[in-house]
């Protein structure tokens, strides 16, 4: 289709209307920045319960950001606070226990189902005066012109913006179009996700059990339900996914145990191949990456979405400051501030999660003894436990204003 003779103008174009793209759009638009979001999917069609069965653990600092932006009331109505975390190595009696009471300023995190996050975010952005959504449509090319980028869509629309942001997830087409390479480490694991119902109250306690085949997480949700992330080698995961409901529940009970009484899956199952990937660069000319497009990690500690939210906090602060000063939002100087702020933190956490995954996903007797001894040692060292809890809550390091609960 022919290009529009009069390109649509915006300050920023965001490619990707996922949870990261929509949150970033709302954050920037709240401070007067004009946003256009483009996505290949019809956003409304992605709001049904079958689209994504995952749930996210939102850490304390990102929770403060969402509250400050006014988004928490829209996405957190059905949130379940995480009051405690129990970490065990398989069926070993040795465990590590994190309790919100040890910090005294609120839950360790909040569990929210992705379907509620997506619906709340779409409700927040769909009629926002500073946000325009173009979907479904596809970016076919980008031209770099003086002072802006011109993005051409399959439907014939052309858009001029100072900056283009790739928020398309791990398979980002714009990352590839900008010749940004990505390093990938395969874990030879598949993550099976489902929601289960159990007879007894979980009391807001999250459980992470580590087995040689992969971690098994039980994450509390409202109404005697929990989200399950069950990691297995690909062939075994394929077999488990193909089981009848009755057989699947039987296998689930073996892994789950009896501490919450009778347990059964509520029907829908999803599976995802697990790997880690890190982009070599976060930026190109008038372009930057955010969220999983820049870094994808193992769900071992539920930090993937939190990294994206921390990206949003830093990028929002950098861009809003530049906007207030009348600066060029797509300039190399502005984007470098974002990269400097986020890249080291993302890489350190990603490599840390990689190390934990490899440490726990094996049955070497010597390593097994060492990691159980390590869990027992940390359990007896309050200062070390507090260090790990603060990292998990995202309250360590030079935090952007939004992550401290303050406005920009």
pLDDT tens for residues 56-113? 999 999 999 999 999 999 999 999 999 999 988 877 777 788 888 888 778 999 999 9
Give the predicted TM-score (pTM) of the model.
0.93
> Higher pLDDT residue, 284 or 304?
284
Buried b or exposed e, range 57-80, using 16+ CB within 10 angstroms: bbbbbbbbbbebbebbebbbeebb
153-202 pLDDT, tens digit each: 999 999 999 999 999 999 999 999 999 999 998 989 999 999 999 999 99
Average pLDDT, the chain: 90
**pLDDT class of 1 with cuts at 50, 70, 90:** very low
CB 286 within 8 A of CB 162: yes
Cis bond upstream, residue 346 (ω within 30)? no
Task: Report residue 325: phi and psi, to 5°.
Answer: -90, 0
Question: 189 or 304, which is more confident?
Answer: 189
Of residues 33 and 97, the one with the higher pLDDT is 33
Buried b (16+ CB within 10 A) or exposed e, 341-366: bbbebbeebbeebbebbebbbeeeee
């Amino acid at each position: 289709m022919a290009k529009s003779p009069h390109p649509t103008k915006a300050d920023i174009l965001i490619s990707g209307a996922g949870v990261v793209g929509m949150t970033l759009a709302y954050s920037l638009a709240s401070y007067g920045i004009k946003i256009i979001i483009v996505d290949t999917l019809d956003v409304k069609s992605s709001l049904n319960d079958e689209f994504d069965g995952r749930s996210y653990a939102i850490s304390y600092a990102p929770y403060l950001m969402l509250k400050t932006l006014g988004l928490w009331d829209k996405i957190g109505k059905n949130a379940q606070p995480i009051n405690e975390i129990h970490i065990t190595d398989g069926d070993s009696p040795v465990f590590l226990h994190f309790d919100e009471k040890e910090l005294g300023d609120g839950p360790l995190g909040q569990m929210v189902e992705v379907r509620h996050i997506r619906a709340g975010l779409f409700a927040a952005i769909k009629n926002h005066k500073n946000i325009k959504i173009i979907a479904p449509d596809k970016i076919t090319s980008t031209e770099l012109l003086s002072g802006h980028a011109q993005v051409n869509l399959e439907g014939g629309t052309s858009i001029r913006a100072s900056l283009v942001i790739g928020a398309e997830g791990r398979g980002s087409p714009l990352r590839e179009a900008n010749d940004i390479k990505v390093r990938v480490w395969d874990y030879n694991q598949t993550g099976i996700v489902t929601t289960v119902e159990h007879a007894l109250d979980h009391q807001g306690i999250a459980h992470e059990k580590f087995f040689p085949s992969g971690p098994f997480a039980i994450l509390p949700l409202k109404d005697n339900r929990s989200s399950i992330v069950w990691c297995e080698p690909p062939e075994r995961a394929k077999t488990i996914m193909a089981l009848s409901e009755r057989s699947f529940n039987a296998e689930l009970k073996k892994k789950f145990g009896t501490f919450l009484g009778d347990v059964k899956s509520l029907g829908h199952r999803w599976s995802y191949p697990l790997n880690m990937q890190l982009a070599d660069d976060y930026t190109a000319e008038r372009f930057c990456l955010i969220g999983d497009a820049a870094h994808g990690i193992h769900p071992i500690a539920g930090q993937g979405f939190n990294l994206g939210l921390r990206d949003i906090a830093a990028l929002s602060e950098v861009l809003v400051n530049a906007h207030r000063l009348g600066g060029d939002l797509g300039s190399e100087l502005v984007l470098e501030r974002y990269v400097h702020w986020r890249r080291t933190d993302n890489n350190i956490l990603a490599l840390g999660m990689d190390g934990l995954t490899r440490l726990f996903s094996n049955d070497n007797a010597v390593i097994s003894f060492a990691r159980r001894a390590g869990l027992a040692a940390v359990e007896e060292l309050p200062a070390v436990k507090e260090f790990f809890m603060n990292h998990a809550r995202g309250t360590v390091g030079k935090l952007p204003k939004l992550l401290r609960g303050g406005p920009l």
